[in-house]
Amino acid sequence: MTETSPIQRVADSVALSTPPRMAGQIRGLSDRAIAWLFVTPTILLLLAINIFPLVWTIYLSFTNYKANRLNREVKWIGLKNYERVLTDSDIWHTLQVTAHFVCWTMFFQVILGFGLAWLINKQFRGHSFWTTLILLPMMLSPAVVGNFWTFLYQPQIGLFNYVVGFFAGVDPSSFQMIGEVNLAPWAIIIVDTWMWTPYVMLICLAGLRSIPDYIYEAAEVDRASKWRQFWSITVPMVLPFLMLAVLFRVIENFKMFDLVVELTSGGPGSVTELASINLKREAFEKWRTGYSSAFAIILFVTVFGVANIYVKALNKVKQR
Amino acid sequence: MKKVLALASAVSAAALALTAPVGEAKAQSTELTLCWAAWDPANALVELSKDFTAQSGIGMKFEFVPWPNFADRMLNELNSGGKLCDLMIGDSQWIGGGAENGHYVKLNDFFDREGISMDDFAPATVYAYSTWPKGEPNYYALPAMGDANAWFYRKDWFARADLQSEFKAKYGRDLAPPKTQLELKDVAEFFQGREIDGQKRYGAAIFTERGSEGITMGATGALYAWGFKYENTPGKYDMEGAVNSADAVAALEYYKELYKCCTPPGYTDSYMQESLDAFKSGQVAMAMNWFAFFPGLHKDEQVGGDKIGFFVNPGQKVEASTLGGQGISVVSYSDKQEEALQYIKWFAQPDVQKKWWALGGYSCHVAVLNDPSFKESQPFAADFLLAMDGVQDFWQEPAYAELLLAMQKRLHDYIVADQGTAQEALDKLIEDWTETFEDEGKL
């Protein structure tokens, strides 16, 4: 007599309790039909929470709809919202601010992330401890990070100003990182770099650890210099990982909201008003639903298009 | 034995789980939820409302949201037809949207039925907090909390003989609460960077907040004092020449100068709480804020009592103050409108209004305001009356949020971010507002 597992026993009891007629119907289904049976709920869920809102947003972008004016007549206004968005100098300003933020954060995070990964990969004594320590910022909530960096940047009591003042020999209260037009864009870049460099480091570290030792050993046999090994082995083999990290970070930073709102609320003036902050204000503070839908669609198409081109480039790099 | 205990626990838990919703539902049927901002007067209202519960048997729950998120949170609630709030003490600017979008119950019939007369409330507060369209006898709220933006100062510093003589030598007048906006700047400049009791002090804490309404509420204190108007002809939306008049430009330039010369370092995104913090920590000689905070400030152990003085927003070409304050409305989506109306009826009684003032709320009832002892009842009471005589409010249109955010952006760009001129900021503001009114079909 063979012993059956508890799961098997449950399955048997369910099979036995299924009415013969229903059991016959299920047995009559093809594999394809059974596959559809399992996949359909997920597809319906995706349609409900992803596809329907997208289609509805596209529809709203062609109307004058305002979500706070439910008793107002909704009019079809064609491409007017798109025309307004694309000719609005404030929108272009927020896109410039976003581009500045994305480019510089990527630049610093790639350099520092790769550098840290390279150092950590050296397997020195205590490297596990340092790895954990370096990873801490990315484990924090962006709202918390934004809040405590506002204190660090405080001109009178902030540690950041004190340290800069100490080394630069200037009065710590003589500059305001989040209050001055020239410094505020850099203030948000510093915080984002501090928080997300560990993420880039982690992915680069995975790339570095995936390089087999024998490749370096073969290079040593061929008497390749360390510099040559770095450029001909390390960089090409880590590049797909690095590009993947950049893809994730660019998409995330393009829609950056919480951290910057906590730090500057988009100010002073509008110098740190990223596209997502502007979009939120248009949609949920000014309640220009049609207009903000058009802006959201434009942003979506932009990110989607850029990401697609980038993924194709990534695939080419991987195939090399 | 363990099995018996476990079984008993499970049965008790199940019984609790089954009975709790029933108990809760019973309590909710006799409980009203009142929504307001989280600030000092809200605590006074909680205290006051205990009398209502004692008299009517209707319980009161409160939903208080901090000011920076108050409009976002509550307007979302109203726009989605939410049933969270039975009573709403909404900001004065919401009245247009509340009325036109059907969020608030029209109270005219109720007032007639219950003999509540709007003549019993200060006219400026009825106009600002209750009526829509403006000035028409259509009431959507009962004036609940009178308020305006005003100033407080370090009376003990102003009284110092050495500072008095130095100020007089420099400006040719006594160091005293300023009578004009330009005098205010002189005083602020005098204190800026000055060392008092071994600490560096600053001139004034003013509103510069970007996210919600702060910089608009602060700068309009100067704009109104220079005679700022939103329209040339009320109700016509003809803003050219009014919003960007020479006086408006001068007022805006003045506010920027005040910000540049006389605020503490890092004061780039500051509103009510930052103003209170700056004053309570002894950083500034003067600060602007709403009257609502004055009772708490006067009681403060560190800077209150004899150390603090109050003054109304100084005029320049006219005497004027920025209106704050709110009316109390019944939310049309509430299932407990009858009970909510009972609360308003109770709240409108003169005795209740007197107690409201005594607890720290700002009554708008003439029985309180016209009482001969009112002016002496608090050190800021006379200034409150003075301020309420000259209050001006922002647009109260249904599209007020759009109008407000446009002004926030233009003012912050000019004053804090140093971009463009005052003339350009106001010209752009007219463009923004024109676009909004065109969308609304009013232009």
Instruction: Determine, yes or no, domain membership for A72.
Output: no
Cα–Cα distance, A46 to A238 (Å, whole number)? 34
Residues 188-207 of A with CB under 8 A from B: none
Calculate the alpha carbon distances from A270 to A216, A274, B408, B419 in Å. Answer: 51, 9, 10, 10
Residues 50-89 of A with CB under 8 A from B: 64, 67-71
Cα–Cα distance, B151 to B106 (Å, whole number)? 35
Contact indicator for B150, B388 with CB cutoff of 8 Å = no
Residues 270-289 of A with CB under 8 A from B: 270-271, 281, 284-288
Low-confidence winner among B91-105, B320-334, B420-434 (lowest mean pLDDT): B91-105
Of B115, B144, B117, B106, the residue nearest B327 (C-alpha): B144
A89-120 vs A184-209: helix crossing angle, rounded to 10:
40
Q: What does the DSSP 8-state code read for residue B323?
A: B
Residue A192, C-beta contacts closer than 8 angstroms, at least 6 positions apart: A101, A105, A109, A253, A256, A259
Residue A126, C-beta contacts closer than 8 angstroms, at least 6 positions apart: none
> Is this complex's ipTM strictly greater than 0.90?
no
Contact (CB<8Å) A71/B412: no
What is the per-residue pLDDT for B21?
43
Cα–Cα distance, B316 to B306 (Å, whole number)? 28
Q: Who among A156, A268, A281 is closest to B405 (CB)?
A: A281
- By CB atoms closer than 10 A (0-12, 13-18, 19+), residue A55 is exposed
Q: What does the DSSP 8-state code read for residue A63?
A: B
Q: Find the mean pLDDT for residues A7-11.
A: 74
Q: How confident is the model at residue B10 (pLDDT cuts 50, 70, 90)?
A: very low
* pLDDT(A169) > 50: yes
Give, in degrees to the nearest 5, the angle at Cα A150 between A146 and A152.
115
Q: Is B85 left (phi over 0), alpha (psi -120 to 50) or beta?
A: beta
Q: How confident is the model at residue B29 (pLDDT cuts 50, 70, 90)?
A: low
Contact (CB<8Å) A284/B76: yes
Distance from CA of A140 to the nearest CA of B (A): 23
* pLDDT(A188) > 70: yes
Contact (CB<8Å) B268/A267: yes
Nearest residue of chain A to residue B411 (CA atoms): A269
Q: Who among A67, A90, A155 is closest to B79 (CB)?
A: A67
Bridge partners of B199, per DSSP, are: B196
Number of domains in chain A: 2
The structural domains of chain B, ordered by start, are 31-147+324-392 (3.40.190.10), 149-322+399-439 (3.40.190.10)
- Strand (E) positions, B272-336? 284-290, 308-311, 321-322, 326-330
- Domain shared by A33 and A159, yes or no: no
Instruction: Determine, yes or no, domain membership for A74.
Output: no
Question: Is some CB atom of chain B closer than 8 A to the CB atom of A179?
Answer: yes
* pLDDT(A72) > 90: no
Of B139, B109, B133, B135, the residue nearest B124 (C-alpha): B135
Low-confidence winner among A3-17, A170-184, B274-288, B429-443 (lowest mean pLDDT): A3-17
Mutation target among A64, A68, A159 for the B interface, most CBs of B within 10 A: A68
A80-87 vs A89-120: helix crossing angle, rounded to 10:
70
Residue A19, C-beta contacts closer than 8 angstroms, at least 6 positions apart: none
* Structural domain for A270, as ranges: 81-319
Question: Is some CB atom of chain A closer than 8 A to the CB atom of B201?
Answer: no
Q: What token pair was written down for B136? A: 């028409």
Q: Who among A68, A267, A270 is closest to B269 (CB)?
A: A267
- Domain shared by A43 and A143, yes or no: no
Instruction: Determine, yes or no, domain membership for A90.
Output: yes
What is the per-residue pLDDT for A19?
76
* pLDDT(B434) > 50: yes
Residue B152, C-beta contacts closer than 8 angstroms, at least 6 positions apart: B279, B286, B287, B289, B294, B297, B308, B309, B310, B311, B380
Q: Which residues of A touch B412 (CB under 8 A)?
A: 267-270
What is the per-residue pLDDT for A68?
83
Instruction: Determine, yes or no, domain membership for A67.
Output: no
Mutation target among A265, A282, A284 for the B interface, most CBs of B within 10 A: A265
The CATH number given to whatever domain includes residue A238 is: 1.10.3720.10
- Domain shared by A87 and A145, yes or no: yes
Low-confidence winner among A10-24, A156-170, B115-129, B426-440 (lowest mean pLDDT): A10-24
B19 CB neighbour count, 10 Å cutoff: 10
Residue B367, C-beta contacts closer than 8 angstroms, at least 6 positions apart: B120, B350, B353, B354
pLDDT in tens, B289-347: 999 999 999 999 999 999 999 999 999 999 999 999 999 999 999 999 999 999 999 99
- Domain shared by A16 and A119, yes or no: no
Cα dihedral B315/B318/B321/B326 (nearest 10): 170
Q: Find the mean pLDDT for residues B174-194.
A: 97
Contact (CB<8Å) B72/A284: yes
Calculate the alpha carbon distances from A312 to A204, A240, A245, A307, B67 in Å. Answer: 20, 12, 15, 9, 48
Distance from CA of A68 to the nearest CA of B (A): 5
* pLDDT(A124) > 70: yes
Instruction: Determine, yes or no, domain membership for A69.
Output: no
B422-439 vs B400-415: helix crossing angle, rounded to 10:
160
Q: What does the DSSP 8-state code read for residue A48?
A: I
* pLDDT(B227) > 50: yes
Distance from CA of A141 to the nearest CA of B (A): 20
Is residue B128 classed as helix, strand or coil in its secondary structure? helix
A172: cis peptide before it, omega within 30°? Answer: no
Distance from CA of A33 to the nearest CA of B (A): 41
Cα–Cα distance, B70 to B82 (Å, whole number)? 15
- Domain shared by A159 and A35, yes or no: no
What is the per-residue pLDDT for A24?
66
What is the per-residue pLDDT for B8?
44
Question: Is some CB atom of chain A closer than 8 A to the CB atom of B442?
Answer: no
Instruction: Determine, yes or no, domain membership for A37.
Output: yes
Q: How confident is the model at residue A4 (pLDDT cuts 50, 70, 90)?
A: low
Contact indicator for B317, B181 with CB cutoff of 8 Å = no
Is residue A33 classed as helix, strand or coil in its secondary structure? helix
Question: Is some CB atom of chain A closer than 8 A to the CB atom of B264?
Answer: yes
Cα–Cα distance, A97 to A272 (Å, whole number)? 6
Supply the mean pLDDT for chain B.
91
Contact (CB<8Å) A155/B418: no
Q: Who among A179, A271, A285 is closest to B72 (CB)?
A: A285
Q: Which residues of B touch A174 (CB under 8 A)?
A: 265
* pLDDT(B42) > 60: yes
Contact (CB<8Å) A71/B101: yes
A123 CB neighbour count, 10 Å cutoff: 7
- Domain shared by A96 and A227, yes or no: yes
Cα–Cα distance, A75 to B411 (Å, whole number)? 33
Nearest residue of chain A to residue B208 (CA atoms): A268
- Domain shared by A109 and A200, yes or no: yes
- Domain shared by A31 and A100, yes or no: no
Q: Find the mean pLDDT for residues B380-390.
A: 93
Residue B102, C-beta contacts closer than 8 angstroms, at least 6 positions apart: A71, B332
Question: Is some CB atom of chain B closer than 8 A to the CB atom of A143?
Answer: no
Q: Which residues of B touch A153 (CB under 8 A)?
A: 266
Contact (CB<8Å) A286/B405: yes
Contact (CB<8Å) B265/A281: no
Contact indicator for B143, B122 with CB cutoff of 8 Å = yes
Contact indicator for A179, B268 with CB cutoff of 8 Å = yes
Contact indicator for B348, B142 with CB cutoff of 8 Å = yes
Q: Which residues of B touch A70 (CB under 8 A)?
A: 79, 101
- Domain shared by A171 and A27, yes or no: no
Of A251, A112, A263, the residue nearest A185 (C-alpha): A263
- Domain shared by A43 and A169, yes or no: no
Calculate the alpha carbon distances from A296 to A69, A283, A285, A291 in Å. Answer: 20, 10, 15, 9
Is residue B365 classed as helix, strand or coil in its secondary structure? strand
Q: How confident is the model at residue A128 (pLDDT cuts 50, 70, 90)?
A: confident
- Domain shared by A121 and A43, yes or no: no
Distance from CA of B416 to the nearest CA of A (A): 6
B214 CB neighbour count, 10 Å cutoff: 24
Instruction: Determine, yes or no, domain membership for A64.
Output: no
Q: Find the mean pLDDT for residues B239-260.
A: 97
- Domain shared by A267 and A198, yes or no: yes
pLDDT in tens, B256-302: 999 999 999 989 999 999 999 999 999 999 999 999 999 999 999 99
Instruction: Determine, yes or no, domain membership for A224.
Output: yes
